[in-house]
Structure 1
Amino acid sequence: MIRVLFVCLGNICRSPMAEAVMRDLIEKRGLADAIKVDSAGTSSWHVGEPPHRKTQLKLKEYGISTSGMKSRQLKNDDFEAFDYIVGMDSSNVNNIREMLGQPEHPKIFRLLDLTSHKKDIPDPYYTGDFQETYDLVSEGCEALLKKIIEAM
Structure 2
Amino acid sequence: MRDSLLPFALSTKVDESNICRSPAAEAVLKKVVERSGVADEFEIDSCGTGGSGHENWYKLDSKDHWEEHKDRTVDERMIDALKKRNLDPYSDSRPLEPEDFQKFDYIINMNNENIEEVQKAAQYWKDDLQKAIPSNWKDKVQLMTTFMMKGEYQGAAEVPDPFHGGPEEFDKVLDMLEDACEGLLSHVESKKFATES
TM-score by length of 1: 0.91
Q: Secondary structure at the match of 2:157?
A: coil
- Quote the Cα distance in structure 2 between the aligned partners of 1:48 and 1:93: 25
Greater Rg by CA = 2
Q: Secondary structure at the match of 1:126?
A: coil
Distance 1:127 1:94, change over 3 A: farther
**Residues 44-65 of structure 1: per-residue CA shift (max 9 Å, x gap):** 2433322111111111101112
Matched, 1:133 2:173: yes
- Identify the residue that residue 62 of structure 1 maps to in structure 2: 85
- Identify the residue that residue 142 of structure 1 maps to in structure 2: 182
- Quote the Cα distance in structure 2 between the aligned partners of 1:92 and 1:126: 19
- Quote the Cα distance in structure 2 between the aligned partners of 1:120 and 1:80: 26
Q: In 2, are the aligned partners of 1:48 and 1:72 still within 8 Å (CA)?
A: no
Q: Secondary structure at the match of 1:85?
A: strand
Q: In 2, are the aligned partners of 1:16 and 1:51 still within 8 Å (CA)?
A: yes
**Residues 94-133 of structure 1: per-residue CA shift (max 9 Å, x gap):** 101111228x712101100223224111111133410111
Letter matched to residue 143 of structure 1: G
Matched, 1:3 2:43: no
- Identify the residue that residue 96 of structure 2 maps to in structure 1: 74
Deviation at 1:15, TM superposition (A): 0.7
- Identify the residue that residue 117 of structure 1 maps to in structure 2: 155
Matched, 1:106 2:146: no
- Identify the residue that residue 14 of structure 2 maps to in structure 1: none
In structure 1, runs of 5+ residues without a counterpart are none
- Identify the residue that residue 29 of structure 2 maps to in structure 1: 22
- Identify the residue that residue 129 of structure 2 maps to in structure 1: none
Letter matched to residue 84 of structure 1: Y
TM-score by length of 2: 0.71
In structure 2, runs of 5+ residues without a counterpart are 12-16, 53-68, 127-136, 149-153, 193-197
Deviation at 1:30, TM superposition (A): 1.3
Q: Give the strand-richer structure, 1 or 2.
A: 1
Percentage identity across paired residues of the two chains: 29
Letter matched to residue 65 of structure 1: D
